[in-house]
Each structure stands twice: as C-alpha cells, then as structure tokens.
Chains A and B, each alone.
Chain A
Amino acid sequence: DQQVKQNSPSLSVQEGRISILNCDYTNSMFDYFLWYKKYPAEGPTFLISISSIKDKNEDGRFTVFLNKSAKHLSLHIVPSQPGDSAVYFCAASAMGNTPLVFGKGTRLSVIA
C-alpha cells in the first residue's frame, strides 16, 4: 500500500513557465515532507522541505505548498529552466525513528 503517491509519471513544461509537481499521502502521522531531484545515474539531491506546522516554504525558484486537510503537497518551480529536467521525488517522514517514505517520482521535462 503506497503511503506517498505521485500520480503523474511525467510532466512537460515550456522554459520560463511554471512547473507544478503534485504528491498525495495517506498516513496522517507524517509531519515532515521533502522534495528531491534526481538526474540519471546519480543520487537524489535534496531540494526543499516543509514541516506540517507550515503551509508554505520558499527557496528561490522553488516553493512547496502543504494542504494537510487534503493530505496533498505540491512543488512549484518558477520560472522553469532546462536544467530542471530531472525526476522529482516526494518523501515524507513521521515522528520517531522511522525512515523517509518515497513516492515513485515524476519526470519533469523543460522544453526550450
């Protein structure tokens, strides 16, 4: 049973436009959420995170929004750049000694 779901396997966006990647979760015990970016044959790199006490966190071109009532979070990238083309993973953590749970990823293609 998938606790973290990324329902869109892929997304194509034009350069300069906004990219919106979505993630849903089912476990109400999750209280910390992260986004990772991954290029082929490399390890994921941490992008941005958000605690459940917030509903928005910004870092440069990246903003993560959290809607706890809907158990939904999204990553906005604006403006999108060709270097943003990668697979993006959503991850969630519950309090206590439990590892991160990852979604299956969304492949973003930014077209010049």
Chain B
Amino acid sequence: KAGVTQTPRYLIKTRGQQVTLSCSPISGHRSVSWYQQTPGQGLQFLFEYFSETQRNKGNFPGRFSGRQFSNSRSEMNVSTLELGDSALYLCASSLTGDGETQYFGPGTRLLVL
C-alpha cells in the first residue's frame, strides 16, 4: 500500500498570505490528523477529521482550518500567515483514529518570510 502523501513538500510564503496544504491518507484509512512541528514547541496537534467531520481541534487560532473530502483526502489552510507559522506540518492517517497507530507523511515544510 502506498503511504501517506503530502503536497507540496516545501513552500515559501510571505506574511499576510494564505496557504493550503494537502494530504492523501493510506488507502482505507478514514481518520486524518494534522500536527505542527517546531523546534520551540515540538509536535502539537492541530485537528482530526473522520468521515468529513472534525472530531477534535487543538489549541490553535482560527486562522488554522481544515477539511476532509469524501475520499478521505484532507486539506489544511492557514490564513493571514505570521512568521511564527513557519514549521513542518505533518499529516497522519489511521483506520478510525482512537488509540490506533497513526502513520505519518513526510510533511510540508512551510517558511514564512
């Protein structure tokens, strides 16, 4: 089976712009989660989707949003980018999400200038 794929792998944006990141889960996985990884804060949970419904959201401002499509693919959007949004954004998928192994993609590295 193909693993979790994320596009793009690298992105450079300027402050105030918005960005959309994409994630395709492992075939058959219906839960998709997003995490932000930074040197200062480590790995932080953004949100989780299952069957197009957001089931949980981390402690991030409303500028961070996401959605899931009927084929389980997911996107996350960050509006009005700030310098502090520079990070590695990781997507993970699992069958149903609770207590299961989450399989991670390679991440999208976002640099905000």
* Real binding pair: no
Which residues of A pack against B, CB within 8 Å?
none
Binding site for A on B (CB under 8 A): none
